[in-house]
Structure 1
Amino acid sequence: MHIAEGFLPPLHAAAWTVAAAPFVVHGARAVVRERRERPETTLLLAAAGAFTFVLSAIKLPSVTGSSSHPTGTGLGATLFRPPVMAFLSTVVLLFQALLLAHGGLTTLGANVFSMGVVGPWAGYAAWRLLCGRHRGLAIFTAFALADLATYCTTSVQLGLAFPDPVSGIAGGVVKFLGVFALTQVPLAVVEGLLGVLVLRLLADVAGPELARLGIVPTTPPSEAVTR
């Protein structure tokens, strides 16, 4: 996530923009449909976007002068499915590039693809796989995996752009994965735990909305999230 402005070769930047564009258009339509069909979830939709903005704006030093970030996309992916997050992540990354100098405009497509497409789909897949067994574990895994999948994708993007002189693209990918792993793995664990806490709080204040979204069953909210 947050590949810096001008860091990718122009051809790579253009290719990732083209790859991300259909997901963003589909996500915009999903947001409009969500607002039209379930207007009562508007505040939750805004909360998902704000959560992503705040968490992904946290910049923590990593090794070799790089940095690591939480992503926050697990919340929106779990609540509203991944297409919504493609659009919300685009808005978030655009504002961060313009206002915080996190990421950039030329690398927006690459950053959206990793954080707004791959990450949310990975987290949502984990949620769907585990939610019928233990919701607390499902939430933790969804948030943590959305974070890790984003950084794995970013490492692939950087490895493709800057292959290792000896071992090529594979070596480049491994090198970038190693750079991020020391800080990103603990961050993913923390983000997973934060996700469990946030969903428990939301279940207490917005239980009916979460029940309509299928996140919690129609049982006492605090119990539902931890099952």
Structure 2
Amino acid sequence: MKKILLGISVTFAILLLPHVAHAMHITEGILPPKWVIFWFILVIPFIVIGTLRLKKKKKEVPGFLPLVGLVGAAVFVFSCFPIPVVGLNGMATAHPAGTGMSAILLGPFVSVVIAGIALFIQALFLAHGGLTTLGVNIFSMGVLGSFSGYFAFRLAQRMGFKLFWCGFLAGVISDICTYIGTSIGLGLLVFKEGETFSVAIMHSAKAMLEIFVVFMATSQGPLCIAEGIVVGFALTYVYKVRPSILYNLKVVKAQ
């Protein structure tokens, strides 16, 4: 109960702090109705599977639910640092994601659920992102961020990398793929139905590339390196202090 009250107090403190609002992720009002519907339909299966996985792991892994809350809070805070991206005219801002780390600890599907909850709260109470753009933002930060980070971590493990570098690569790749997703969501807005399919795809691909380059050149490049370092050090610290956590979650094999 004390932890719940503390969490509520911190949340209200954040909400009541005076600040300049920057719209994060892809902002409200950017997407036309057809794309709003498309992105929601795309992410719904991941959320359903993630919810089922969460219920299953809650029964199988001791202390899994409190860990979900802790990691969820970290993802929420990570993605609450808006950095305006020069050249996008207020359509989106850059920020760390945190879903690479949550995917490693909790699994990619559960990580999608965590990202969805964080994005929903930010859209509803902090004017970060938006409700109509929730689907595309979950796709970017939740689906692409989680699965890319998870597979990057597992691949690095198979290649024999040390734990820090496995976490570092997961954080970097997750961050990069999150903004590939954001670039896709924004780039598809120039898709014109009156053009031939090949021409429309070419225009959209060009827009996606330009938006992604703007992200990486102005802010996300340094951020992805920083997030990789944070994830690497976090996993290394947990392994030194409480290795049983990583063993129980099957992040590393018990020796």
Q: Mark yes or no: TM-score above 0.5.
A: yes
- The answer as to 2:50 corresponding to 1:27 is yes
Shift of the alpha carbon at 1:61?
A: 2.3
Summarize the alignment of residues 55-74 of structure 1 with structure 2, pairs less than 5 Å apart.
Answer: 55-64=78-87, 65-66=89-90, 67-74=93-100
CA contact (8 A) 1:52 1:73 kept: yes
Q: Amino acid of the residue matched to residue 215 of structure 2?
A: F
Separation in 1, partners of 2:76, 2:241:
21
What is the CA distance between 1:158 and its match in structure 2? 0.7
Pairing 1:170–2:205 present: yes
- Aligned-pair distance for 1:38? 1.1
Contact 2:100 2:148 in 1 (8 A): no
Partner of 1:185: 221
Task: Decide which of 191, 194, 202 is 2:230's aligned counterpart.
Answer: 194
Tell me if the contact between 1:163 and 1:170 (Cα under 8 Å) persists in the aligned partners.
no
Give the Å deviation of 1:217: 4.0
Q: Match for residue 88 of structure 1?
A: 114
Whole-Å separation in 1 of the counterparts to 2:42 and 2:240: 39
The alpha-carbon deviation at position 209 of structure 1 amounts to: 1.7
Aligned to 1:63, what secondary structure does the other structure show? coil
2:168 maps to 1:140: yes
**Separation of aligned partners in 2, 1:53 and 1:205:** 24
Q: Distance in 2 between matches of 1:33 and 1:215?
A: 17
Q: Match of 2:223, as an amino acid?
A: L
Question: Aligned equivalents of 2:55 and 2:241: distance in 1?
Answer: 24
d(CA) in 1 for partners of 2:237 and 2:72?
Answer: 17
Q: Which structure has the larger Rg over C-alpha atoms?
A: 2
What amino acid maps onto 1:139 in structure 2?
Answer: G
Provide TM-score, normalisation by structure 1: 0.90
CA distance in 2, matches of 1:46, 1:200: 21
Q: CA deviation at 1:138?
A: 1.2
Matches within 5 A, 1:100-111: 100-111=126-137
1:19-76 deviation digits (Å, cap 9, x = unpaired): 0001011111111111111132333222221111000111112212442110000111
Deviates more, 1:129-138 or 1:60-69: 60-69
C-alpha contact (below 8 Å) 1:119/1:150 kept by paired residues = yes
Distance in 2 between the 1:207 and 1:4 partners? 40
Letter in 2 for 1:4: T
User: Residues of 2 paired with 1:201 and 1:44: CA distance?
Assistant: 16
Structure 1 stretch displaced more, 44-53 or 104-113: 44-53
Which residue matches 1:14? 37
Note the C-alpha offset of 1:156: 1.0
Confirm or deny: 8 A CA contact 2:79 2:96 kept in the other structure: yes
> Does 2:112 align with 1:78?
no
The one-letter code sitting in structure 2 at the alignment partner of 1:23 is F
TM-score (norm 2): 0.80
Q: Could you tell me which of 225, 234, 245 is aligned with 1:209?
A: 245
Q: 2:183 is matched with which residue?
A: 155
SS of the equivalent of 1:39 reads coil
Checking the alignment, whether the CA contact within 8 Å between 2:50 and 2:110 is kept in structure 1 is yes
Q: Determine what percentage of the aligned residue pairs are the same residue.
A: 37
User: Deviation at 1:163?
Assistant: 4.8
Q: Which ranges of structure 2 fall in alignment gaps of 5 or more residues?
A: 1-23
Gaps of at least 5 residues in structure 1 are 220-227
Secondary structure class of the residue paired with 2:25: coil
